[in-house]
Amino acid sequence: MTDDTAPSHPPLATEHGLDPSLLTGLARLAVHVGLNLQPGQDLVMTTPTSALPLARAITAEAYRAGAGLVSALVADRDMTLARFQHAHDASFDKAPDWLYEAMAKAYENGAARLALVGEDPFLLAQQDASKVGRANRANAAAYRPALAPIAGFHINWSIIPCPTPDWAQRMFPDHAPDDALTLLAQAIRQTARLDQPDPVAAWARHNENLARRCQMLNAARFDSLHFQAPGTDLRVGLAEGHFWQGGASVARNGVRCNPNIPTEEVFTTPHAARVDGYVRATKPLSHHGTLIEEIEMRFEAGRAVDARATCGGDVLRDMLATDEGAARLGEVALVPHSSPVSQSGHLFFNTLFDENAASHIAMGQCYASCLEGGDTLTKEEILARGGNESLIHVDWMIGSGQMNVDGVQADGEVVALMHAGEWVTA
Task: Give the footprint of Zn ion on residues 223-282 (CB under 5 A).
Answer: 265, 267
Report whether the peptide linkage leading into residue 262 is cis, meaning its omega lies within 30 degrees of zero. Answer: yes
Decide the pairing of beta strands 303-308 and 285-287.
unpaired
Task: Give the footprint of Zn ion on residues 345-374 (CB under 5 A).
Answer: 355, 362
Which of 251, 219, 422, 224 lies closest to 332, judged by CA?
A: 224
Instruction: Choose one: 18-26, 226-234, 333-341, 376-384; the region binding Zn ion (CB under 5 A).
Output: 333-341
CA–CA separation, 50 vs 37, rounded Å?
A: 24
Taking the complex as a whole, the smallest distance from the CB of residue 395 to Zn ion amounts, in Å, to 4
Q: 399 and 358 in contact (C-beta within 8 Å)?
A: yes
Residue 16 φ/ψ region, left for φ over 0, alpha for ψ in the -120 to 50 degree band, beta for the rest? beta
Taking the complex as a whole, the smallest distance from the CB of residue 267 to Zn ion amounts, in Å, to 5
394 belongs to the binding site for Zn ion (CB under 5 A) = no
1 belongs to the binding site for Zn ion (CB under 5 A) = yes
Q: Pick between residue 72 and residue 151 the one whose CB is nearest to Zn ion.
A: 151
The secondary structure of the chain in percent helix, strand, coil, rounded to multiples of 5, reads 35, 25, 40
Q: Pick between residue 96 and residue 336 the one whose CB is nearest to Zn ion.
A: 336
Q: Pick between residue 18 and residue 397 the one whose CB is nearest to Zn ion.
A: 397
Residues 6+ positions from 411 with CB-CB distance below 8 Å: none
CA–CA separation, 47 vs 139, rounded Å?
A: 17
Q: 49 and 74 in contact (C-beta within 8 Å)?
A: yes
The correct pick among 341, 395, 403, 417 for binding Zn ion (CB under 5 A) is: 395
333 belongs to the binding site for Zn ion (CB under 5 A) = yes
Taking the complex as a whole, the smallest distance from the CB of residue 265 to Zn ion amounts, in Å, to 5
Q: Pick between residue 80 and residue 260 the one whose CB is nearest to Zn ion.
A: 260
Q: Pick between residue 45 and residue 335 the one whose CB is nearest to Zn ion.
A: 335
Instruction: Choose one: 1-9, 17-25, 142-150, 214-222; the region binding Zn ion (CB under 5 A).
Output: 1-9
Q: How many residues bind Zn ion (CB under 5 A)?
A: 8
Q: Pick between residue 57 and residue 117 the one whose CB is nearest to Zn ion.
A: 117
Taking the complex as a whole, the smallest distance from the CB of residue 397 to Zn ion amounts, in Å, to 10
CA–CA separation, 52 vs 14, rounded Å?
A: 8
Taking the complex as a whole, the smallest distance from the CB of residue 334 to Zn ion amounts, in Å, to 10
Taking the complex as a whole, the smallest distance from the CB of residue 351 to Zn ion amounts, in Å, to 7
CA–CA separation, 14 vs 165, rounded Å?
A: 8
From the CB of residue 344, how many other CB atoms can be counted at a distance below 10 Å?
A: 18
Q: Give the Å distances, CA to CA, from 255 to 39, 68, 405.
A: 12, 16, 33
Q: Could you tell me which residues are beta bridge partners of residue 44?
A: 71, 113
Q: Pick between residue 171 and residue 362 the one whose CB is nearest to Zn ion.
A: 362
CA–CA separation, 128 vs 132, rounded Å?
A: 6
Angle (deg, nearest 10), helices 77-86 and 129-151: 130
Taking the complex as a whole, the smallest distance from the CB of residue 398 to Zn ion amounts, in Å, to 12
Taking the complex as a whole, the smallest distance from the CB of residue 393 to Zn ion amounts, in Å, to 6
Q: Pick between residue 77 and residue 113 the one whose CB is nearest to Zn ion.
A: 113
Q: Pick between residue 11 and residue 246 the one whose CB is nearest to Zn ion.
A: 246
The correct pick among 331, 341, 390, 417 for binding Zn ion (CB under 5 A) is: 331
Taking the complex as a whole, the smallest distance from the CB of residue 364 to Zn ion amounts, in Å, to 9
CA–CA separation, 86 vs 77, rounded Å?
A: 14
Taking the complex as a whole, the smallest distance from the CB of residue 153 to Zn ion amounts, in Å, to 14
Instruction: Choose one: 16-24, 108-116, 179-187, 326-334; the region binding Zn ion (CB under 5 A).
Output: 326-334
CA–CA separation, 43 vs 392, rounded Å?
A: 27
Which of 95, 50, 58 lies closest to 74, judged by CA?
A: 50
Taking the complex as a whole, the smallest distance from the CB of residue 1 to Zn ion amounts, in Å, to 5
Q: Pick between residue 111 and residue 275 the one whose CB is nearest to Zn ion.
A: 275
Indicate if the alpha-carbon torsion angle 379, 382, 386, 391 is positive or negative. Answer: negative
4 belongs to the binding site for Zn ion (CB under 5 A) = no
61 belongs to the binding site for Zn ion (CB under 5 A) = no
Q: Pick between residue 223 and residue 331 the one whose CB is nearest to Zn ion.
A: 331
Site of interaction with Zn ion (CB under 5 A): 1, 265, 267, 331, 333, 355, 362, 395
